[in-house]
Amino acid sequence: MRLFTTITALRCDLTVRKAQRPDGTVGFVPTLGNLHLGHLSLIRRAKLDNDIVVVSVFVNPLQFGPQEDFKQYPRTLEQDLKRCEETGVDVVFSPAPEILLGSSLLSSPTATPTSTLDLPTRTQVIPPQSMTDRLCGSARPGHFPGVTTIVAKLLNIVRPNRVYFGQKDAQQLAIIRRMVADLDWPVEVIACPIVRETSGLALSSRNRYLSPEQRQQAEALYRSLVRGEQIFNQGILSAAAIKQAVWSELSNVSVLKVDYVELVDPETLKPIQNIEEAGLLAVAAYIGSTRLIDNIVLRNRRPILAIDGPAGAGKSTVTRRLSEALGLMYLDTGAMYRAVTWLAMQSQVALQDEPAIAELVHQCQIDLVPQQDTLQVLINQQDVTEGIRSPEVTANVSTLAAQPAVRQALVKQQQSYGRKGGIVAEGRDIGTYVFPMRN
Ligand code: AMP
């Protein structure tokens, strides 16, 4: 593992690594450091998905308000490096603030600009106001522009294929997804589930500010969310009723100063009246001067289950049986790859011409229509159920399946099937829930 503190050295190292593994992918985990098991879960997922894993450790001054804990924020680089090394990280990037922000903006390395809006001489990335003027954004003006400005820089410096964020900071995750989509960044944003203590308390670097008694009191946050979930699981979809249940649980702990209890759309963060597809139930509260957040996603839809593992592990059999047992659609992702191969061959596009294939695949529509015993496969409304099983298609399908643009387009379509009715499928990429198999 190597540690870099300058942009030039990091870029230089990544250029060498990428030259050594031209097809290798880079996974990136941005952090403020003081790494705990929550961070490590992101790193482990990045390791599973990529050839090279980069972690940044940077206490970003721009995301702290003037009254916030920038100066006290725990800086534990040595311990962080040890944890990164043990988890198999390849590169740690830990620049001093002036490296990313310029010394003219910071009179001393620990000075805090009051907010990004006070940086008139620098370009900033400002997320849509509709996503920042609520939830944590109301109490922390300037926080999210501070996050996006630095994450944008880090993405430009590292240029990863995938970047990993915790669901713990659900608002941050939604805003970064929006930024990446709006600015057409060629990076996949991967969300990782919240890691909790057995008591339910979400792991957070700020938990160290809590006394043992306060820690116990803080457990009410998750308890309140579970209460909301119970109401939802009873079939109550009204935001008012669910939030009321959360409030009543929180009010049992008088020392908690609740900042908000909100139910919003997980993607747009707009408040919702009733949960149709999914709702993000989020809380923030102070215990003493420590501000804690937590959330849970309530899904009013059937799940996407993905079975992952090496060839020959029995994925297809398990996938089929599971779909029967659960009454979910069996999504034959292989048939989709075959369908685009068929289309490319019909269109007489050279199969190695990745840009031309990307153009073709991003404009095609594949429909999988369950019949009694089979799955009818349509591409651009043409029935290709039989055509895709030809030896010519079989011989060429792996060429297309290896192309990132093809995978990206098909995963998007696969997820949209899942959103409609719930599916079971093979492949790690598509799943909300991924079940690994071994040989
Ligand atoms: P931070 O260092 O607080 O900026 O966190 C770095 C990344 O770790 C962010 O994407 C967080 O959402 C994620 N993270 C922090 N705590 C947890 C947790 N308990 N479970 C999962 N991810 C987390």
| Same-domain check for residues 22 and 72 | yes
Residue at 197 is within a domain:
no
**Residue ranges making up the domain that contains 267:** 205-299
CA distance 223 to 24: 42
For residue 29, how far is its CA from the centre of ligand 1 (angstroms)? 9
| Same-domain check for residues 19 and 150 | yes
Helix/strand number for the chain, H first, E second: 15, 16
Residue at 198 is within a domain:
no
Domain end position, chosen among 164, 192, 220: 192
| Same-domain check for residues 111 and 215 | no
CA distance 34 to 348: 54
Which one of 147, 169, 199, 203 would you pick to mutate in the ligand 1 pocket, going by the greatest count of ligand atoms within 8 A of its CB? 169
pLDDT at 321 (0 to 100): 84
CA 419 to chain centre: 17
**Atom in ligand 1 nearest the alpha carbon of residue 167:** 12
CATH number where 318 lies: 3.40.50.300
- For residue 352 the two structure tokens come to 């190695």
pLDDT at 108 (0 to 100): 44
Contact between 156 and 276 (Cβ < 8 Å)? no
| Same-domain check for residues 332 and 365 | yes
| Same-domain check for residues 311 and 168 | no
Which residue, 279, 280, 282, is CA-closest to 261?
Answer: 282
Give per-residue pLDDT as tens, 354-391. 999 999 998 899 988 877 777 889 999 999 999 999 99
pLDDT at 433 (0 to 100): 61
CA distance 331 to 410: 12
Domain end position, chosen among 299, 323, 352: 299
Number of domains comprising the chain:
3
| Same-domain check for residues 292 and 311 | no
| Same-domain check for residues 149 and 92 | yes
Q: Tell me which residues are annotated as active site.
A: 39
| Same-domain check for residues 327 and 423 | yes
pLDDT at 311 (0 to 100): 75
- For residue 415 the two structure tokens come to 């997820």
Residue 164, strand partner residues:
190
For residue 186, how far is its CA from the centre of ligand 1 (angstroms)? 22
pLDDT at 120 (0 to 100): 65
Q: CB-based contacts of 74: which residues, under 8 Å, 6+ apart?
A: 33, 34, 205, 208
| Same-domain check for residues 117 and 256 | no
Which residue, 224, 291, 217, is CA-closest to 263?
Answer: 224
Binding pocket residue ranges, ligand 1, CB within 6 Å: 31-32, 38-39, 41-42, 165-166, 168-169, 192, 194-195, 202-205
Widest pairwise Cα distance in the chain: 71
CA distance 342 to 115: 54
Domain end position, chosen among 161, 192, 223: 192
pLDDT at 431 (0 to 100): 56
| Same-domain check for residues 164 and 147 | yes
Spans of the chain, pLDDT less than 70? 104-120, 301-302, 418-422, 427-439
pLDDT at 436 (0 to 100): 65
Which one of 31, 55, 94, 162 would you pick to mutate in the ligand 1 pocket, going by the greatest count of ligand atoms within 8 A of its CB? 31
| Same-domain check for residues 144 and 225 | no
DSSP 194: P
Residue at 199 is within a domain:
no
For residue 204, how far is its CA from the centre of ligand 1 (angstroms)? 7
| Same-domain check for residues 167 and 241 | no
**Three-class DSSP labels, 12-80:** HHHHHHHHHCCCCCEEEEEECCCCCHHHHHHHHHHHHHCCEEEEEECCCHHHCCCCCCCCCCCCCHHHH
For residue 151, how far is its CA from the centre of ligand 1 (angstroms)? 14
Q: CB-based contacts of 191: which residues, under 8 Å, 6+ apart?
A: 165, 166, 167, 173
Burial call 346-368: b when 16+ CB within 10 Å, e when fewer: eeeeeeeebeebbebbeebebeb
- The kind and range of the H/E element at 212 are helix 212-233
Q: CB-based contacts of 132: which residues, under 8 Å, 6+ apart?
A: 144, 145, 175
User: In terms of DSSP bridges, do strands 375-379 and 162-166 run parallel, antiparallel, or are they unpaired?
Assistant: unpaired
Q: CB-based contacts of 338: which residues, under 8 Å, 6+ apart?
A: 377, 388, 389, 393, 394, 397
